[in-house]
Each structure stands twice: as C-alpha cells, then as structure tokens.
Amino acid sequence: MGKPTGFLEFKRELPADRTPLARIKDWREIHLHQSEADLKKQGARCMDCGIPFCHTGQLVSGMASGCPIHNLIPEWNDLVYRGLWREALDRLHKTNNFPEFTGRVCPAPCEGSCVLGMKDPAVTIKNIEVSIIDHGWANGWVVAEPPKKRTGKKVAVVGSGPAGLSAAAQLNKAGHEVTVFERADRPGGLLMYGIPNMKLDKKEVVLRRIELLEKEGVKFVCNTEVGKNLPAEKLLKDFDAVILATGATKPRDLLIEGRSLKGIHFAMDFLTANTKAVLDNHKNGGFIDASGKDVVVIGGGDTGTDCVGTSLRHECKSLVQLEIMAQPPLERAANNPWPEWPKTYKLDYGQEEAAAKFGADPRVYLKTATKFEGDANGHVKAVHTVQVEWTKNDKGQFIPKNVPGSEKVLPAQLVLLAMGFLGPEQPLLETLGIERDARSNAKADFEKYTTNHPKIFACGDCRRGQSLVVWAFNEGRGAARECDRFLMGATDLP
C-alpha cells in the first residue's frame, strides 16, 4: 500500500483553514487546499495494515466504526500516492455517489478506526477523499452518464436529502424513470438547508451535482409536499414504486417555563432561513437575525456548532453554548478503545471562531436550562441555568441531577434549541398507512427497506432515526437496490 515506510516518514498534515476572524466575515467555505505533493505524502501514510478497518462500516458500541458506504480507502490512498488521480476517482465513485459531500461534512468514522490511529494520528482520509473529487471536477472528469436504456418503470422518491439523492442516482443508473419530490424551494434537503454554506457551498458544490443528476435524467419537483399539495394516493397510482426519504425532522423541544417567549427557535429553523437568505442575497429578509444579540445555543453536536458559526457571521454580541454532558477527555478513555469512534474533545470550526472572537470556547459543560425569562414585550431576555451531575437512578440508568446552589442567569435575546431530533414527521406515514417502530420511525428492516406496503420503501433518517449523512447515503443506495429487485425480479446494483 503506497509507500511501505510512509507512515514512519511523514506526519499527519491537513490543509490550512482560512483564519477564523477573516472567515466569519463571509459565507464562503472555510477550508483551503493542499498541494499535490503534500497529498501524495499523506496518501503514503496509509499502511499495509493487513486488515484495514477504515472501510468496514460496522456499528461498535452504538457508533459507526469505519465507513458506512464501504469506500475503498486503502486503494485510492495508494493511487493518490502514485499520482493516478483519474483511477482514484473511479475507485471513489464505485461506492460513493457524492464524495464532494462526504468529503466536506462527514465526521469521518473511517479515521476513527484507522489502524495507524492506534499509535499515531490517523491517515487524513477525509481530506484525500475530497481532494480526489475536487480534482475530478476541476479536470472535467465528472460528466453526465445517462443510462443507455430505460426499463419503463417509474419510481417516486419523497425527499431530496442525502438518502433520497443517493437512491435516485442509483435507480436512474438502473434505467428507471426517477422523480424526486421536495417540499422546499430547492432540492438537496439537509445538504441544501440544514448545513451552512461555509461548510458545504450550495451553488458550487450541491447544485452542481444536482444539475448533473438532471442531465442524467433525474427529475426534481420542488415546492411539493406529498400528502398536502400532492395527494399520496396519486403518487401510488402514477408510480411503480415509492421510496420515502423524508428524514427525521421532528426536533426535540425543551418544555420549561418561558418556552413560548419570542426569540426562542429550533436550530433548523434558524439555519434553514439563514441559508435561504444567503442564496437569495438577502433580498427578501425573513431570516432569524443574531446581530447585536446575546445568543445562547442549547445542545452540542454538528447542529449546535453550525448555530455558533452562523451567529458569529451575523455579528452577535456574545455567545454561550450549553452542553448537558461532561467535557470529553483529550485522549481516548480506557472504556473507549480503538476501533470505536473516539469520544475526545475537539474544537470544531464554530467553537474555534468563537474562541478567536470572544477569547474562549463558548461551550459550558454539565449545564442545562431551567427557565426562560422574558421582558415586558414577551421576548426572551435571559436563560436560567444550573449545573448538573450524572447519577444512576433505581433502574441503574444515568440521569442528570441538578446541583443545588449552582444556578446562573445568562443574558439572551436569541435562544437556539439544538438538542437533536425525535424522528420523522408523522402525517405522511399515517396517510400512507406505514407501520412505525417504537421510536416512531417507518418500520422497515435494515438492508431490506421494505415497509408493510408492497410498493413503498423507506430509508435514511426516517427509517433509522437521526444519524450521520454517510449512513443516509448507505441506506439510499441499499433502498435503491431492493427497489430495483422488486421492480425487475433481480438487480445488479451494489
């Protein structure tokens, strides 16, 4: 693999990012690019490790270990080291329909299970991946490849997020006529409106791929919500099969005193309206503005970080992010061994920007909100918080317990709730008569994706619950395979 002694000779290096104080002044992507010479060295770090774990895609302790779409990582690392970029792109596209997306927004569970990571910093797999696809686009190697023949079968995909796009791309390759229905004004789902532009450029990256899919024959119908302005019965009548890929968009709420005050918003409402305003050049307003405000973000994870980064670009007055969990350790804990996903402390882009502007990581750990306080006009003006400690209840479950005397009041004219999602919205599932599991997700077995309705399949977050973008790609491809089998009696899709 690559250079047998590469992992001994070269240290892990990532491309520089634009400086935090410069990049918060615009919405452009934050990452810069590495030279080909440096990328070859990073590819050379990939070891001849015998049994690579990076592309296994297993669940270990409930978390992804390795790549869920089984990218052929050692192979394209070796090809990059040898300067064979076109061949590397071909290997990458064998398993991944959209590497420009995963290479930008995936948390890279592949790197968490890298064998080299047992001793030294892992191979820069994610950066090599995005460099391969960006190289491909720059050289004109990524072109429309419509199927040579059509089957005459018609498939509807409901939702144009990661799962829906990957399902549509695969079914179109199989020769089916695919129509993707999206309730928003632009296709892309989470990729378009759930992830800010500085992480994933919409015009240069997302729309570029969607336009390619259109050239290949995929049809996108926006501003159309199945079950509302398009009857679900018509969908079943007009199409031979339907794939549900609506995501898990029901947000977790915080029903404490003062929740009805103005100025308290779900994170996704904040992020969606902001990205739409950016794409519309702020012509129509309508976004939730953090400028000049004390902002409190409740919840961590990628969504919380995106709220932090977006608020900073609005030029907020101050920013605090409440995390109910304890601060992770700097190194793997004994109960978090390789190849599990490393639950370690990191300063993500948003926190790095906040630290540069305000002098410190905005996150405060083991904190929760107990009350929202309003002003005379019914607008939030403060968040009451308390320190918590995690203790076991009589069932042996860990639960947070308030610490007496640790109360604190934070000024806040804008509160953003980023505490995750509870599952898919239910009206469409109810209309179609789709069975649900105990967590309110569409009931369909993994790797089968078939619901109780013979011609309806479900995949992505609406089937498995809130998860990683890369799992949505895995499920979209899998649902396409099983749908193709249903339509044709056999399938050649992977």
How do residues 214-224 score in pLDDT, each as one tens digit?
Answer: 999 999 999 99
Is pLDDT of 228 > 80? yes
Contact 146, 217 (CB under 8 A): yes
Q: Tens of pLDDT along 346-368?
A: 999 999 999 999 999 999 999 99
Q: Tens of pLDDT along 231-257?
A: 999 999 999 999 999 999 999 999 999
Residue type, 297: V
Which fold would CATH assign to domain 6-138? Fumarate Reductase Iron-sulfur Protein; Chain B, domain 2 (1.10.1060)
Lowest average pLDDT, out of 49-53, 102-106, 449-453, goes to 49-53
Alpha carbons 122 and 228: distance in angstroms, whole number = 48
Contact 480, 174 (CB under 8 A): yes
Determine the distance from the C-alpha atom of residue 106 to the mean position of all C-alpha atoms in its chain, rounded to a whole number. Answer: 6
Hey, do 154-249+422-488 and 253-419 end up sharing a CATH topology, with the first three levels equal?
Answer: yes
User: Rounded to whole angstroms, what are the CA distances from 9 to 122, 159, 306?
Assistant: 14, 47, 36
Which pLDDT does position 50 carry in this prediction?
A: 85
Q: Tens of pLDDT along 146-175?
A: 999 999 999 999 999 999 999 999 999 999
Which pLDDT does position 100 carry in this prediction?
A: 98
Lowest average pLDDT, out of 54-63, 82-91, 251-260, 307-316, goes to 54-63
How many other C-beta atoms lie within 10 A of the C-beta of residue 431?
Answer: 14
Contact 249, 164 (CB under 8 A): no
Is pLDDT of 1 > 80? no
Which pLDDT does position 3 carry in this prediction?
A: 86
CB within 8 Å of 375: residues ≥ 6 apart: 381
Is pLDDT of 56 > 70? yes
Which pLDDT does position 269 carry in this prediction?
A: 97
pLDDT-based confidence at 321, cuts 50/70/90? very high
The hierarchical CATH code for the domain 154-249+422-488 is 3.50.50.60
Domain-wise residue ranges, the chain: 6-138, 154-249+422-488, 253-419
Average pLDDT, the chain: 96
Q: Which CATH superfamily is domain 253-419 in?
A: FAD/NAD(P)-binding domain (3.50.50.60)
